[in-house]
Structure 1
Amino acid sequence: KFEGVVDLVRGKAIYYDKSTKGAEFKVTDIPADMQALFEEKHHELLEAVAEEDEALLEKYLGGEALTEDEINSCIRKATISRSIVPVLCGSAFRNMGVQPLLDAVVDYLPSPVDIPPMTGHVPGHEDEIIECRCDDKEPLAGLVFKLFSDPFIGHLSFFRIYSGVIETGMSALNANTGKKERIGRILKMHANKREDIKWAGAGDIVALVGLKNASTGDTLCDDKRPVILESLNIPEPVIEVAIEPKTKADRDALSAALGKLAKEDPSFRVKGDEETNQTLIAGMGELHLEIIVDRLTREFNVNANVGKPQVAYRETISKPSKSDMKHAKQSGGRGQYGHCVIEVEPNPGKGYEFINSITGGVIPKEYIPAIDKGIQDAMKSGVLAGFPAVDLKVNLVFGSYHEVDSSEQAFYVAGSMAIKDAMNKAAPVLLEPIMDVEVVTPEEYLGDVMGDLNGRRGRVQSMEARAGGAQSVRAQVPLASMFGYATDLRSRTQGRATFTMQFDHYERVPAALAEEIQKARS
């Protein structure tokens, strides 16, 4: 029954032609039965925005009608100052309301010169701030904010220019890597077509072809004014699934497609499981990986079988320990000899730390990195259930070597043996990802929703009333309990509740559950 929308600014009704899927529409007078509602809402709109301009406020309070241009200028000022948020309605399914939305983007949202200049910092000196004013005459500074693999053109880097000008054939400094990039082609992107342009200036968003080493979040700038703009904080993936090609023909195509997708999306990872010889893909949630698999089929024509989602558990230790490990082998000819003593302690939230406390040359300096490498590689599969070990501080305190038989390989093996031994002595524990979940639900389903979150080992953090009789519930819930939650929430609330979820932190798994996980992995 949805036919169109009423524009509160213009005072007109817009009717959409369903047969053309919203492409054609007609503008008419407001229906008589909606006139009273229009008057009420139009009055609310004017009250909300007239305060932005004193002259227009006086005109409005004096009983004079404001013109369409005057109303739009007030809405624009209020939007840019973020004192109001314009809301438009429509139906994405039938493309109804798209045209007023695009007009509102042009009319109300700020251009780059309407907002404060972008700031960055000198590479290696975060306290030295540089202002990048939106001006073609300024030195170049811009951000690669998205990578995309186009089947016809190849590798595209979407680039927003904050200051300066970019031209085809010029070189720019990648401030994050310290290497220069040559600009091949510059494309102006439209929805379903693109055009080649020779240059682009401050405030433009373009796609660059031919960048070899740029990643998402890198800054391209003038080498005479190096600057690093806002960097992206990419969280570690919390969910994994095994993926394999359906046919031999798909094998190479799958590998190439996954490589392209991983380059595009820094929160998506691909890795191999040495024990099961499977390829694992990891991401930020079920939906994230579902979309990746859908893109494999749709964009890359690769068919793949996907396993059930697995939680990315981690392992750590709960008390200090010490290990004295010697790797000595003699099998005729030159042998292998590596000996190290390490002390290990928990390092909560700080990751892996290696301290070299060797004195007096009991282990030659050239073998120390091999011990560190052996420890780090061994930590990739922990001692409880083979999950990566995290948050360990390792102190290398003693060891010995052999003039002939010692080698980097021998000390690498000694280091890996020592960390496994130390972890076994240090009361190892499993950690699981805890998600920050927000559910917005009508009040009548609040009890049901909270009971369900508690049943999923969730801890409710806060509740807040929203407009229209809705309640917002924030909770911290283990990811392992959240599989299939979208379907469950819809059925509990007749499809009226919504939720968002993002990774928050890792936390110790309850003992009973940890045993189950270890049994399942053994």
Structure 2
Amino acid sequence: MHADEAREVTHALAGDIVAVSGLECNSGVTFTDGSSRLSLSSMYVPDPVVSLSVKVSKKEDQQRFAKALARFQREDPTFRMNVDGESKETLISGMGELHLQIYLERMAREYRLNVETGEPKVNYREMVTQKAMFDYTHKKQSGGAGQYGKIQGYFEPIKANGDEVDANSPVEFRNELVGNDIPPNYIPSIEKGFREAAKKGMLSGHPIINTRFVLQGGKSHDVDSSDIAFRLAAAGALREFYEEAAPIVLEPVMAVQVTVPAEFLAAGLGTISRRKGTITNTVRQGDTVLLEAEVPLKNMFGYITDLRSCTQGQGEFTMDFDRYQAMLSTDQEELRQAYQSQLQGGAAAA
């Protein structure tokens, strides 16, 4: 391949760009002639930062819908699909509002699907910022064998600065237990309970990252202790003592490039300011100006409409994921209250 020119070849050398048709494979796969078992290093694929609930309006379209989603995931490793465990909604996730809009348009154009969508959802993360000790007992008695598991220890941030944390930063479990106060066969259940609870943080319902859970002590009961009792004890310890570790919410920040005619420079700057963005650079390019900025993703929904309305349709922008950073405390409190209202609404419906 050279620009828009394509010609058939029988071999290719390093540096050549080659297109092969008819293959069903994922991005990043290494092809060989079968005589070697080499595998090239895979590309870095960032986690999606925005999600959207989707469904087809007609039941008979479900098969084509599933086929489209499977194809898009093969083609684009930054496009993800999963089913929410609680709401049972199908969620598509990607690197921004425009990214997902492109795939919605492809579903309509290539698969003739009428897809209904929900509100975009930002993929936040949570982490603790200081060490917190825990001493938690899970105890349940209701005739016959009960449930008993007592655990002690602490959790702490793996990296102290939230601005240096990657969205893929894992949670860790460390066993510093001395002796057999808790039988060794229960330790995997404690780790499992912690990891399961960390999938849904208490501030926003989003995954907890960059957190180390350290087990130092505890007690068991000859009759009432079990795998499930210690798994629930670990989940309860995280839930009960989470606030003492000063948790924060991390939000995705986008690197935004806005191009506007020079006479609309003030208007372009205003669109960034209204969305709580920070201008990092301004470059004059003839009759236009390039604005480089960092803006929280949650403030970028519907931005193109705002930009074009104040530049007489002449403004353009692109954005890419830059990093996760700590959310402003006021925004975090609003998010926490919204999540609590959601939980209470779900409980009332149940």
TM-score interval, smaller chain: 0.7 to 0.9
Q: Tell which has more relative contact order, 1 or 2 (C-alpha 8 A, sep 6+).
A: 2
Compared CA separation, residues 260 and 401, structure 1 to 2 (3 A)? farther
- Whether the aligned pair in 2 keeps the contact of 1:342 and 1:418 (CA below 8 Å) is no
CA distance in 2, matches of 1:256, 1:370: 37
> What is aligned with 2:20?
206
- SS of the residue aligned with 2:189? helix
Partner of 1:500: 318
**TM-aligned CA deviation for residue 479 of structure 1:** 0.7
Q: Which residue matches 1:480?
A: 298
Aligned residue number for residue 395 of structure 1: 214
Residues 264 and 377 from structure 1, CA distance in 2 versus in 1: closer, same or farther, beyond 3 angstroms? farther
Distance 1:298 1:389 in 2: 38
Rg larger for: 1
C-alpha distance 300-376 of structure 1, shift in aligned 2 (>3 A): farther
Q: 1:299 matched to which residue of 2?
A: 110
Give deviations 1:363-419, integer Å, cap 9, x for gaps: 333322222221121122211232222221221222222334333222221111111
Taking the aligned partners of 1:286 and 1:353, their CA distance within structure 2 comes to 32
Which residue, 177, 185, 203 being the options, matches 1:358? 177
Opposite residue 271 of structure 1, the aligned amino acid is N
Distance 1:102 1:204 in 2: 12
Q: 1:256 deviation in Å?
A: 5.0
Equivalent residue for 2:333?
A: 515
Question: 1:469 and 2:287 equivalent?
Answer: yes
Q: Secondary structure at the match of 2:106?
A: helix
The answer (yes or no) to whether the contact 1:433–1:505 under 8 Å persists in 2 is yes
**Deviation string for 1:280-326 (max 9, x for gaps)?**
22111112212222233333344331112122222222322122222
Change (3 A) 1:207 1:403: farther
1:231 maps to 42
* Structure 2 equivalent of residue 288 of structure 1: 99
Distance between the aligned counterparts of 2:49 and 2:108, measured in 1?
A: 23
Cα-to-partner distance string for 1:139-198 (whole Å, 9 max, x where unaligned): xxxxxxxxxxxxxxxxxxxxxxx8xxxxxxxxxxxxxxxxxxxxxxxxxxxxxxxxxxxx
Quick check: 2:129–2:248 contact (8 Å CA) kept in 1?
Answer: yes
Q: Secondary structure at the match of 1:217?
A: coil
Does the 8 Å contact 2:147/2:229 carry over to 1?
A: yes
What's 1:412 paired with?
A: 231
Task: For 1:344 and 1:204, locate their aligned partners in 2 and report how far apart those are by CA, in whole Å.
Answer: 50
Deviation of 1:501 after TM superposition, in Å, equals 0.5
Task: Give the drift of 1:491.
Answer: 2.6
Q: Which 5+ residue runs of structure 1 have no aligned equivalent?
A: 1-79, 81-100, 119-161, 163-202
Distance 2:36 2:281 in 1: 46
Contact in 2 for aligned 1:321/1:344 (Cα 8 Å)? yes
Q: Name the CA distance, whole Å, in 2 between partners of 1:455 and 1:509.
A: 17
Partners of 2:63 and 2:26 in 1: how far apart?
Answer: 24
List alignment gaps of at least 5 residues for structure 2: 160-164, 342-350
Residues 358 and 397 in structure 1, CA contact (< 8 A), matched pair in contact too? yes
Work out the CA distance in 2 between the residues paired with 1:238 and 1:290: 14
CA RMSD in angstroms, aligned pairs only? 2.8
Instruction: Name the residue aligned to 2:198.
Output: 379
Per the TM alignment, residue 245 of structure 1 is displaced from its structure 2 partner at its CA by 3.2
Of 87, 91, 95, 1:276 maps to: 87
Q: 1:346 pairs with 157, 161, 177, which one?
A: 157
Pick the aligned partner of 2:240 from 401, 405, 421.
421
Q: Distance in 1 between matches of 2:249 and 2:268?
A: 28
Determine if contact 1:354/1:395 at 8 Å carries over to the other structure. Answer: yes
Whichever residue aligns with residue 366 of structure 1, its letter is N
Structure 1 counterpart of 2:141, which letter? Q
Partner of 1:51: none
